[in-house]
Amino acid sequence: MNKSAVYSWRVSPVMKSALEERARSSGQSLGALLDTIAEEWLRANANDGFDQAELQKRVMRMLGALRSGQRNKSERARDLVRDRIRRKHA
- Domain extent listing, the chain: 8-65
Q: What pLDDT is recorded for position 80? A: 83
Q: What pLDDT is recorded for position 54? A: 77
- What pTM, to 2 d.p., does this model score? 0.49
First to last CA, the chain: 77
Q: What pLDDT is recorded for position 43? A: 86
Q: What pLDDT is recorded for position 64? A: 54
- The parts of the chain modelled with pLDDT lower than 70 are 1, 47-50, 63-69
Short-list 20, 24, 1, CA closest to 12: 20
